[in-house]
Chain A
Amino acid sequence: MSLSRLISTAWRENLLFSVLVELTYRCNLDCFFCYNDLGLRGEPMQRDEYFRLFADLQEMEVLNLTLSGGEPLAHPDFLVLGARARQLGFVVRIKSNGHALRGELARRIRDEIDPFLIETSLHGATAATHDRQTRVPGSFDRLLANLAEMRRLGLRVKINSTLTAWNEGEIEGMFALADSLGIPLQVDPEVTPRDDGDREPLQVAPSREGVLRLFRLQFERGRAAAGAAAEVARGGDDGTMPAPVHKHCGAGSSGIAIDPYGNVYPCVQWRRPVGNLHRQSIREIWRRSAGLAEVRELTGHVKEMVDAQGSGSHLLNFCPGSAAAQAGSPLALYPAAEQRRELLEQVMAEEAGRPLLPVVR
């Protein structure tokens, strides 16, 4: 059986496979467009609750455990929790801004957590742009130094970036920078509202021309490899495209997200609470949550809606969580998805007209 078919099985049979844990919303940067709901209040999860959660997840045969935030390294128990995750055999990923990933802490992460991957954030190709977005002077230079150090330590690193109006003019430079570091860069062309619905981050949403420029660049870079469209189209868990299944995605079916206060969501982008770990175990929530049952049913309806959009529907990269945040319903098409399809179709048409070999006259 292939991996894609196994992921389809997980979606179909509701087998929890990937969990993202937001340990804290504290952060040592102050990114203008951060999506976290910093006004959210609740009782923070305690160390023993995380231990219980991780033990349950191990018994549930969860493979992927992502430690995120905020800045997860800012959680006082980060190393303890990471080491426990390693001990329990999870594939551990860390989503960090990279600002504190250096020296003794970086070495301890390697030795005590042995993460499969550390995902860091780059916001521009220059200090002026990066630091403008993080609102912390010196953060660009420090990130570059830390990335080089992580590579020297043998940590597996990836760079994530969100395309914004402030950095869209530097996108080629950002890829060149990542290439020079030998680290893959993944760019999300979409700025989203905050998790509390605040639309302020959309003030720095990239322009249409900026998104088009990114897509052209991604196709150009992917031309040597087959399937450039796959680089920008939606994948399943860990980028693997699942075999055909009756759900649009694995939100609430093979994956969940947990905030620092124990609230459980179907996905990091779909902030629809389906339970709380202070009151119920993850096993109980997974089996009995009426909210999760609704989400699983909804992902089926989302697939029907997306499929009805025609042959280019996969180019929408439709996300029910984004739809809920931006259009008020997980079933509503939202402008960024429609723009994405339109621009990808344009770039694909340009690619189709490109000669396979240079014409020599």
Chain B
Amino acid sequence: MSSITLSTVFRRRSDVRYRRIEGEAVVLRQSAAEVLVLNEVGASVLDLADGERSVGEWIEALRSEYDADPETLTHDVLTFAGELEEAGMLEVVAP
């Protein structure tokens, strides 16, 4: 797993497919035939992982959408990004 900072830019891996059902996301990683279900915030992170916006920009976007403590949100997003990368859902475009 790479070292993730606020300037890290991720994109969804090409074999990841997902759709939202009432806010939550059903995510399929095709190559592994794995299905994940993400909650609303997790689904938003997946939306934001477009290969252009940095993790810092994700946090700004999520702060405007959800009423969360900034410090907690930053910690949680950095952790979650690492988990998604480890699960093969995201790949680093820029460290």
Contact = CB atoms under 8 A, between A and B. Distances in A.
Interface in A1-24: 1-3, 6, 9-10, 13, 15, 17
Interface in A127-148: none
A90 B18 CA distance: 8
Chain B contact residues: helix, strand, loop or mixed? strand
Contact of B17 (A2, A13, A15, A63): A63
A116 B14 CA distance: 12
Interface in B1-29: 14-15, 17-22, 24, 26, 28
Nearest to B35: A3
B39 interface: yes
A114 B19 contact: no
Nearest to A90: B17
Given A1-B39, A6-B37, A156-B33, A116 B28 contact: yes
Given A1-B37, A3-B26, A156-B33, A10 B21 contact: yes
A331 interface: no
A3 B19 CA distance: 12
B19 A61 contact: yes
Contacts of A9: 21-22
A1 B24 contact: yes
A325 interface: no
Given A3-B35, A63-B28, A116 B17 contact: yes
A89 B22 CA distance: 18
B79 interface: no
Nearest to A62: B19
Contact of A15 (B18, B21, B35): B21
A296 to B, nearest CB: 17
Contacts of A61: 19-21
B78 to A, nearest CB: 24
A137 B17 CA distance: 39
A136 to B, nearest CB: 32
A63 B24 CA distance: 13
A13 B19 contact: no
Interface residues of A, number: 18
Contacts of A6: 21, 24, 26, 37
A2 B20 CA distance: 13
A91 interface: yes
Contacts of B33: 116, 156
A6 B33 CA distance: 18
B24 to A, nearest CB: 6
B28 A15 contact: no
A9 B21 CA distance: 8
Contact of A116 (B20, B22, B30): B30
A156 B34 CA distance: 13
Contacts of A156: 30, 33
Interface in A62-88: 62-63
Interface in B30-59: 30, 33, 35, 37, 39
Contacts of B14: 114
A9 B23 CA distance: 12
Residue among A9, A15, A63, A90 with max Cβ neighbours from chain B (10 Å): A63
Nearest to A115: B30
Contacts of A63: 17-19, 26, 28
Contact of B22 (A3, A15, A90, A91): A15
A6 B43 CA distance: 14
Listed residue (B19, B20, B28, B33) with the most chain A CB atoms within 10 angstroms of its CB: B19
B30 A114 contact: yes
Interface of B: 14-15, 17-22, 24, 26, 28, 30, 33, 35, 37, 39
19 contacts: A1-B37, A3-B26, A3-B35, A6-B21, A6-B24, A6-B26, A6-B37, A9-B22, A15-B21, A17-B21, A61-B19, A63-B17, A63-B18, A63-B26, A89-B17, A91-B30, A114-B14, A116-B33, A156-B33
